[in-house]
Chain A
Amino acid sequence: MADSVRVYLWLISAAIRAQLEYRVSFALDVIGMFLVTFLDFVAVLVIFHNVPQLGSFTVAEVAFVYALSAMSFALAEFAVGHLDALSEMVRTGSFDVMLARPRGTLFQVLAADFRVRRLGQLLQGAAVFVYAVGALDVPWNAARIAMVVVTVLFGAAIFSAVWVFVICVVFWAIEGREASSAFTYGGQFLTQFPIEIYSQWLRRFLAYLVPMAFVSYFPSLYMLDKEDPLGLPSFLRFSAPIVAVGAAIVAGAMWRFAVRHYRSTGG
């Protein structure tokens, strides 16, 4: 385990150094990514140009939820975002090479790349977070501050676990990759807003079964000291870590199952 972490960090730092080699291109990428995700937030601002509230959440409160989701998703993209290239690895046969190496396949895929430009997305999330906190009167204390860190890290873990789980579809149907976006980017979209606005069946499916509600919604209720408009039990607000661990175990099991049943395209 410790050895795997060491090798992972070594490979990632090599990837980062490679990307930093072209400084101007790197800076443009980060700035571009910031602007791109900023445009995404403009859509939220346009919504609030028309209405003062979304459900029982104000602009600043939605911005708070949005920022937590954005930071978590940026971290998840750092770690596992290049899983979207898995279908290409399967198609070209480079995944078969990984099967022959003395390391786990998931480890090798994850260590293959690290998208440093996602820094722009992380910065955008942080900027929205600063705006939200400035506009809100959050009853800050040590526990709530710690909760921000915990939420962002375990939110990223939940996003990552879901990503690993759903990308397994390509082991059965390479062309099916886009279906995974419904859960990865769909999850990102869902967690940007308070889940109370979605209908019940959609919540059950995408917020509880796929545990997206634990990324930003439940933790925000605690940090903002808000009553749950859905009236769900308050222990859920602190359940993100345990949910993340559970999701990771399920995702790992799914990956092993998928790889065991994987039949090479024989390229």
Chain B
Amino acid sequence: MRMDWELARSGYRRYAAYPAATVAGVFTNTVFGFLRGYVLLALYEHRDVIGGYDASDTLTYTWLTQGLIAIVYIWGWQDLAVRIHSGDVATDLARPVDPLRAGLSFDYGRALYHALFRGVPPFLVGALVFDLTGPSNPLVAVAFALSVVFATGVSYAWRFLYNSVAFWVLHYRGPAVIAMLVANLFSGFIIPVAFFPDWLKTIAYATPFPAMVQMPIDVFVGKADGIEVLYTLAVQLAWLVGLLLASRAVFAAGTRRLVIQGG
């Protein structure tokens, strides 16, 4: 536990060390918030409600996703694949900590930094310019925070899983990009899952991806209400546990066939 805490602290500090990167990231996330916001707002010239979302819900969704980008970190995390590719993973295996657990602790430290400094600022800008929907009561806010914690874990487990493909494939970049973009679409990052046609929605909810983005947002704007909030959190937790177990199994299978050239 003490180890997890230290790892989380170093995860936090690793990202806190580059304030210019944070400013640049917030700037870009904010610009995209405006671009996406206006595109989605244009839909409401023709309709008042889409998939249960009114214009204000959709704008709230847009700015929440812009804030969640850095927190759940679906994009461009290939740290593990790079270490497998280079053989550095051997060092990780020699350490007295489980790589999956150590990585999770480190990632939660990172996520906390990103939540504070890259998650909140774009959302505040959005809230200043547009009329956004807030959580209806403090309990919802707490549930949202917990939902984001689960979402981050689900995302981490998914990243760990597709990074492990590098044990079997030399050119891991291709599969990684595809894994990332599938997650991007089905998580509800680009368009709310509620906007999908029914058949696509069914596919999306059969995957862990909505647990990474759509579910926390549904809690925040109140699309998941009352007992549904508990159900949503339970589904997220189930995916988190399931994917962590899958990651452990795949990583173990990968290490069994791993050959590191000495040196």
Contacts and interface: CB of A to CB of B under 8 A. Distances in A.
B181 A190 contact: no
A104 interface: no
Interface residues of B, number: 38
B21 interface: yes
A29 to B, nearest CB: 6
Nearest to A181: B28
A36 B178 contact: yes
A52 B191 contact: no
Interface of A is mostly: helix
B188 to A, nearest CB: 11
Interface size range of chain A in the complex: 35 or more
A54 B190 CA distance: 17
A175 B24 contact: yes
A39 interface: yes
B46 A51 contact: yes
B75 to A, nearest CB: 11
Nearest to B28: A182
B5 interface: no
Nearest to B30: A182
A21 B27 CA distance: 40
Contacts of A169: 24
Nearest to B185: A39
A46 B174 contact: no
B20 A193 contact: no
Contacts of B174: 25, 28-29, 32
Interface string B17-54: 01111011101100110111011011101110011000
Contacts of B21: 175-178
17 contacts: A32-B177, A46-B200, A50-B50, A51-B43, A51-B45, A51-B47, A55-B42, A177-B24, A178-B25, A179-B27, A182-B28, A189-B36, A193-B42, A197-B41, A199-B38, A202-B35, A206-B35
Interface of B: 18-21, 23-25, 27-28, 31-32, 34-36, 38-39, 41-43, 45-47, 50-51, 171, 174, 177-178, 181-182, 184-185, 190-191, 195-197, 200
Interface of A: 22, 25, 28-29, 32, 35-36, 39-40, 42-43, 46-47, 49-55, 169, 173-179, 181-182, 186, 189-190, 193, 197-199, 202, 206
